[in-house]
Structure formats: C-alpha cells, structure tokens
Amino acid sequence: MLKRLALACLPLFSACAGEPPQGIGILDGRLANCPDSPNCVCSFETRESHHIEPINATLADIQRTLLGMSGANIVRAESNYLYAEFTSTLMGFVDDVEFLFDPATGVTHVRSASRVGYGDMGVNRDRIESIRATINP
C-alpha cells in the first residue's frame, strides 16, 4: 500500500524539477540578470537584493568543490564557463548555477537561481557562500 502511494505521488515530485531554463549561459560576456523574484543571486547584478560577490577562485577549484557537494550535477564544463544543477533531497527542486571565469581579474562570476517558485529561503545565496567558504576558508 505504501509503495503504491509513493508511486502515485512520484509525478508530483518530478514536477518540482521544472523545465531547463532558456537564456542562460554567457550573454555578451556576462551571466544573465536575475528575475524580479527573490530566488536568484548573481555577481553581475546591481540590485542589492540579488547581488553577490564573485568568487576568488578558478573554475578548476569550483569544479572540485561541486564534485563533493550533495545534489550537484555538472551539466556543462568549458574553458571559462561551468553550469551545474543542484537538486534538493526532499522535494526534488532544481536550481541552476553558473560560473564564468574572468581571466583579467582572476575571479569567477556566479549566478544561482531557482528553476520554479518565487522565494528560496536564501538557499541560492547560502549555496554560493558555502562554495566560497570551502575554497577560501
């Protein structure tokens, strides 16, 4: 009985993943701005509510860190760009996280956004700060 209930609820949980986003990646040498909803942070943002500082690290440093993080899946890795999906354990929500290395400054710009919903309870900001703290203790 419990197994049937779990199987019946499976489509509801998979809906939390949402569709892969359009319009992400490197756009005119930078990452996309955040939507108005408070579930996104980006180092290119000028709005204080969405701004986060870039990470003082290379993409290799970031990739090593992501490989050790729960729920992380690296989708695309290029010479100066890295795209990963993070899936929450309980509900299967997916967040899209991008990293763009700037060789001129030696920092990596970041963008972390929830795929569905309006708020994120600070999860995207906390994730980036956790990555920063792991690389730069």
CATH assignment, 2-135: 3.30.310
pLDDT average, residue stretch 92-96: 95
pLDDT average, residue stretch 106-119: 94
* Residues contacting residue 134 through CB under 8 Å, at least 6 positions apart: 65, 68
SS3 (DSSP) at 107? strand
- pLDDT > 60? residue 12: no
pTM of the model: 0.85
User: What is the pLDDT, as a whole number, of residue 21?
Assistant: 78
User: Given phi > 0 = left and psi -120 to 50 = alpha, else beta, which region is 79?
Assistant: alpha
- What is the domain partition of the chain in residue ranges? 2-135
The token pair at 31 is 């990452």
User: What is the pLDDT, as a whole number, of residue 17?
Assistant: 63
